[in-house]
Amino acid sequence: MSNYSKEDGTKSIKARTVIQVTPVSEIDNKWSAPRVVREIDAMLENGKYVPVIISTERVFVHDIRSIFRTRDLEDSRVKIYRVPNLVEKPIHSISKTNFLSRIGFLLFNGFSQLLYLLSLVLKLLLVSIKENAFIIHVHNPPDLAGVAAIVVSKVKGIPYIFEIHDSTPEVFSEVMGLSANSLMFKMLKFQEHLVVNNSAALITVSKSMSTHYEDFIGPNIIIYSGWKAQVENLPKLNQCNLRSTNGLEDKHIILFVGKILSSVYDLDLSLQALSQIICRHSDSVFVYVGDGADRQRLQLLAKEMGVEENVLFTGFLPRNEVFEWIKVSDVAVLTLVGSFSNNRHTVPNKLLEYMAFGKPIVAVNLPGVREVITNRENGLLYKPGSAEDLTKCIITVIENPELMTSLGYNAKQAFESNYSSEKNMPKLISLYDSLTSL
């Protein structure tokens, strides 16, 4: 614990340690987990809590050398302890393999996940003792981190909070091609129930997601969403102009930010829409900011469709550069796969980022998204899986400057009124207060 003195003259209070267990990493000295960043900011600004991170980073067998780069370190604001999570290959690639390969994947990863769980329990226990922790705050995925939190919570007698970003059993089973009746899915669901019901509190990213857990939820539910960012003071990219640098001075920039992963995002649909959009607006360019397993396939598809000249893939970029692309875009899109059950409840960070920058948004019409976007008020919603509807929405924005302006303005107002960290982070601090009686 560290000293914290109140300004009102009352006696000094010791700041209490909160251990965040989360899959974060650092890239170019910039955090890659915005939700964790804003929670750290909230604790440091409040002063009553000291954040400590246990980072559960995935290490792939084909890049085994990276395990030796996984070490404990301390940055300028928060201590970071790292626990490697060794896996054979990305889960999303398993659906493309044969039966024997899947069995091999399950056997190898079953053993490696057991080792990961044991090492995480040990690390979490040691850190909780060393840092005299009062709360454990676990982010998923994986839900297995919550199992480690249960053990340490019982041993140390301290509460843990479970923050759900994704419905892990559904994500895993759909990507693996497992049915809801399969043994693996039932085991994952049991694990999820165990972690949720033993937590002191559950945090979800949308009301839709909380409803998803109402049938078996025991603790109090807190729903918060938001994003900590100094929108007006973002660093410049050496004062360069992204439009001129990429030859896009007179182009309509349609922007997608996220992983190039077709199991989660309907990326083929976006290309189908682009092929129709350029028939009326040949000066339109679809910019994909991000990287992923389907990038090469998508590039080949764009070439086959004859739209490669109207597509730009930036690859992975640091967050400040991602923000620069959002700032120069004309239309920002969110093309989640409608049939992917986890997508029904999620509210991605990118959607809030689009809103924070006052961008006109075209997003898929799903329950979680509808909590944030009201059709024709602060964005346009298109029917899941409909290239025709997506095309119509984007063209509508491009051809109506007044609508473009009003959608962007309303999106920013909605963000500042409902989803900024200034509106939502006090809920997190209040939750910590209730669990520590501080």
Domain ranges for the chain? 2-226+421-436, 231-419
Per-residue confidence (pLDDT) for residue 394, from 0 to 100: 98
SS (H, E, C) the chain: CEEECCCCCCCCEEEEEEEEEECCCEECCEECCHHHHHHHHHHHHHCCEEEEEEEEEEEEHHHHHHHHHCCCEECCCCEEEEEEEEECCCHHHHHHCCHHHHHHHHHHHHHHHHHHHHHHHHHHHHHHHHCCEEEEEEECCCCHHHHHHHHHHHHHCCCEEEEECCCHHHHHHHHHCCCCCCHHHHHHHHHHHHHHHCCCEEEECCHHHHHHCCCCCCCEEEECCCECCCHHHCCCCCCCCHHHHCCCCCCEEEEEECCCCCCCECHHHHHHHHHHHHHHCCCEEEEEEECCCCHHHHHHHHHHCCCHHHEEEEECCCHHHHHHHHHHCCEEEECECCCCHHHHCCCCHHHHHHHHCCCCEEEECCHHHHCCCCECCCEEEECCCCHHHHHHHHHHHHHCHHHHHHHHHHHHHHHHHHHEHHHHHHHHHHHHHHHHCC
For residues 396-419, one letter each, b for 16 or more C-beta atoms within 10 angstroms of the residue's C-beta and e for the rest, the string is bbbeeeeebeebbebbbebbeeeb
Closest CA to 133 of 201, 51, 56, 78: 51
How many residues can be counted in the chain? Answer: 438
Quote the CA–CA distance of 44 and 173 in Å, as a whole number. 38
Q: Token pair for residue 201?
A: 């509190």
Per-residue confidence (pLDDT) for residue 228, from 0 to 100: 43
- pLDDT single digits (tens) 54-71: 988 766 655 555 555 544
Q: Give the β-pairing of 26-27 and 160-164.
A: unpaired
Are the beta carbons of 273 and 390 closer than 8 angstroms? yes
Per-residue confidence (pLDDT) for residue 98, from 0 to 100: 63
Is-same-fold flag (2-226+421-436; 231-419)? yes
Radius of gyration of the chain (CA): 22
Per-residue confidence (pLDDT) for residue 129, from 0 to 100: 96
Q: Is the bond preceding 84 in cis, omega lying within 30 degrees of 0?
A: no
Quote the CA–CA distance of 407 and 57 in Å, as a whole number. 38
User: Hey, what CATH class is 231-419 in?
Assistant: alpha beta
Residue ranges for the chain with pLDDT beneath 50: 2-11, 26-30, 70-74, 227-235, 237-239
Quote the CA–CA distance of 365 and 344 in Å, as a whole number. 9
Q: Give the β-pairing of 361-364 and 220-223.
A: unpaired
Per-residue confidence (pLDDT) for residue 11, from 0 to 100: 44
- pLDDT single digits (tens) 273-286: 999 999 999 999 99
Q: Give the β-pairing of 30-31 and 26-27.
A: antiparallel
Per-residue confidence (pLDDT) for residue 233, from 0 to 100: 45
Quote the CA–CA distance of 194 and 192 in Å, as a whole number. 5
In percent, the amount of the chain with pLDDT more than 70 equals: 79
Are the beta carbons of 345 and 170 closer than 8 angstroms? no
Per-residue confidence (pLDDT) for residue 213, from 0 to 100: 76
User: Hey, what CATH class is 2-226+421-436 in?
Assistant: alpha beta
Quote the CA–CA distance of 43 and 428 in Å, as a whole number. 9
Quote the CA–CA distance of 128 and 178 in Å, as a whole number. 37
